[in-house]
Amino acid sequence: MKTQKIILFALFIYLFIGCSKKNTELSPTNLPYPSASLQKTILQNKRKKDSINKNFTNFYSEWKGVKYKYGGNSKKGIDCSAFIQKAFKKTLSIKIPRTTLQQSKKGKSIKKSQLKLGDLVFFKTGRNSRHVGIYLEKGKFMHASTKKGVTISKLDNTYFHKHYWKSQRILD
């Protein structure tokens, strides 16, 4: 009888402690000792991200302030989809379609909360008009604005927040 009570008490304690522990998933960021191959993969991904960020930053510096021109495709004037097409070709050697609508069908659809560097963000700016930009990080994206030309804006800006349509991932 006493043994049964001890076993029941031990089982109760085990269940209580097991249920009250925080349930954490294993991920590269919370593993106590990541394997060498995992560390190498993490480092390669960071280098790739840093390289993409540097390429986009350099590209933006070259185009910053270029005026918006519907149908434009040069530094004399450029529209949003041409800017995106040129950015992907020059910085990543990736060919993407010329129009915003065609660009919106490329890659894989993702949620706004999943945005990463290089993802395309799309906006419905009118009944039949669309706008596109490249997500940078921290809620910012670069694009060719009709008012400011090539610029960087925030997704939480009242206008862009209201007109947000969808996001597409082109990069793996």
Active-site positions read 80, 131, 143
Which residues make beta-bridge pairs with 134? Answer: 120, 142
Q: How many CA atoms lie within 13 A of 81 on its CB side?
A: 18
Distance CA 156, CA 96 (A): 26
Q: Which of 170, 3, 172, 1 is nearest to 87 (CA)?
A: 170
Q: Please give the Cα distance from 80 to 98 (Å, whole number).
A: 10
